[in-house]
Structure 1
């Protein structure tokens, strides 16, 4: 297998052919912030928090979908990137209706954690206050579109791991939303297996167990990792 040598933050590292900058950085113990990335499913570069600077390129590139190349010189934590990441998180809060104090994922929320990581202590942009619905038609779960950040982790987990493809993305711009089935209520979608993988994959309190109270949602990432590894390596239990 071909191996590329590149430099990330002045550190010379190796990357296997086909690996992304994010893969190579994590293998070398270099942290790059992400929200839409989920180990074991495809990457889509939705959240833009993993943007990095590459010498010779006049554009910032998403590390999760940019392949590492021979001789590449990458910078993951510059002042410019810090500003971009803080702005991105502020826009996520301004675009939705994130009231952390009454959220099921309060203190267990990756968006909250990211706000702390990038140093966001206030939002400088006007809040949009969109009118979004909550769907609790499913007997076990609910989805609050007010808290959705459109990371599409639920879409990819349901499609690539469970194989049900209950979720998808509809509309454009500020009207973009996650839909179940052909824009049916979640409880009406016969393809749903009620596995709960989308609940575990959701980084916020958008998809939750019905009956959950404030701060009680904790995703079971170990279950997802087990299923992903079992599928990849063919290590299924009987």
Structure 2
């Protein structure tokens, strides 16, 4: 296996050829915040929280899809990056309707966690308060578009792991949203296997179990990687 040596925040890091900057940083114990990224799913660089500065590059690069190379010099925590990450989190909060006090994921929400990490204790931007629907047509689960951050984890896990491809991303700009089937009520999509993997990997309270009340959603996205390892080894999933 070929090894590449790069420098991350002043530290020399050895990484396998073909790894991403995010993977190399995590192996080295360097924390880079993410929301759309999840081990076991293909990276899409949707949230832009993992942007890093690379010497010699005029643009900020998403660490989750940038491959390592010999001699690469990466900065992950400059004042510029800290300000960008806080702004990204503020935009996610203000463009939706994230009322944490009544959310099923309150206290167990990755968006909340990232807000704490980047120091966002208030929004400097005006809230938009869009009018977004809630889909309760599925017998077991619900979809609240008000809490969706368009990370596309549900789309990828349904396509890449379950193989059902129930979910997709439709429209553009402020009208962009997750849809089931051909923009149908979730409960009417025959392809859905009721597996719940989309609920498992959702970082917020957008996808939830019916009956969950405030703070009762306790999903564990890390189980996805364990499930894939078990399938590969033809073992029973933990």
TM-score normalised by the chain length of structure 1: 0.97
State the match for 1:57 in structure 2: 57
SS of the aligned residue for 1:52 comes to: strand
State the match for 1:193 in structure 2: 193
Deviation at 1:234, TM superposition (A): 3.2
Runs of 4+ in 1 over 2 A off after TM superposition: 220-223, 233-238
Deviation at 1:228, TM superposition (A): 1.8
In 2, Cα distance between equivalents of 1:209 and 1:164? 19
Instruction: State whether structure 2 residue 170 is matched by structure 1 residue 151.
Output: no
State the match for 2:117 in structure 1: 117
Deviations 1:183-202 (A, max 9, x none): 01000000101011111100
SS of the aligned residue for 1:47 comes to: coil
Instruction: State whether structure 2 residue 148 is matched by structure 1 residue 172.
Output: no
In 1, Cα distance between equivalents of 2:193 and 2:180? 13
SS of the aligned residue for 1:203 comes to: coil
Unaligned runs of 5+ in 2: none
SS of the aligned residue for 1:221 comes to: coil
Aligned-residue CA RMSD (Å): 1.1
TM-score normalised by the chain length of structure 2: 0.97
State the match for 1:108 in structure 2: 108
The question of whether the paired residues in 2 share the 8 Å contact of 1:6 and 1:12 is answered with yes
Deviation at 1:226, TM superposition (A): 2.0
In 2, Cα distance between equivalents of 1:44 and 1:209? 26
In 1, Cα distance between equivalents of 2:111 and 2:60? 22
State the match for 2:66 in structure 1: 66
Unaligned runs of 5+ in 1: none
Aligned residue pairs: how many? 237
